[in-house]
Amino acid sequence: MATATAESPALAMPVNPTLLKAALAGVQGAFTMCGLTARCVGASAVPVREGGRVTGLIGVHGKVSGFVTVNMTERIAVKAVSGLLQEDFSELNAQVVDATGEITNIVVGGIKSALANSPWAFLQITVPSVIIGQGYSIAYANGLEFINVLFESDDKEALLLEDRLIQVSMSLLTI
């Protein structure tokens, strides 16, 4: 994956800059509400396997049709929900799963706002679904505009890099 930041989204591998800026805005806005920060560490125009155990998924429709996924580790999901709800959670439970769907909704709402005046605008979103587990694959149709943006959370207690990663993927088809 190529490196990108909010200040300088210049990339060695071409990704759609409008979609990249929208992903940055959506994640930064949502995770700020959760009391966390996440910096962009890469972006790709090719699908990659989702590494985290918790994935929020929302369908979008407007000038484009497709979906957005927000993938994170269980650790990040628990910390983000704890920050959002101002309540201490120590493990994945029904309330954390439900609130992870809401965090996905907030991320997609930020992306929707950032894309409002672009050719990538969408007006409608579905109810979020949350996938729990690893090792699944999502098949993407030909002709989609795809972007995967990788973020690293500021969790200083997480010893392993993979425990700090968040991925946001968009796959969109112009109608």
On whether residue 162 sits in a domain, the answer given is yes
pLDDT (0 to 100) of residue 155? 76
Give residue-wise pLDDT tens across range 8-19. Answer: 444 445 899 999
Tell me what the mean pLDDT of segment 161-167 comes to. 84
Number of domains in the chain: 1
On whether residue 6 sits in a domain, the answer given is no
Give residue-wise pLDDT tens across range 83-127. Answer: 999 999 999 999 999 999 999 999 999 999 999 999 999 999 999
pTM of the model: 0.88
On whether residue 34 sits in a domain, the answer given is yes
pLDDT (0 to 100) of residue 18? 96
Asked whether the beta carbons of 83 and 34 are under 8 A apart, the reply is yes
On whether residue 11 sits in a domain, the answer given is no
On whether residue 78 sits in a domain, the answer given is yes
In sequence order, the 6+-apart residues with CB closer than 8 A to the CB of 94 are none
Print the domain residue range for 156. 17-174
Return d(Cα 69, Cα 56) in angstroms, integer. Answer: 6
On whether residue 33 sits in a domain, the answer given is yes
CATH of the domain at 124: 3.40.1550.10
Give residue-wise pLDDT tens across range 6-48. Answer: 444 444 458 999 999 999 999 999 999 999 999 999 999 887 7
On whether residue 2 sits in a domain, the answer given is no
On whether residue 8 sits in a domain, the answer given is no
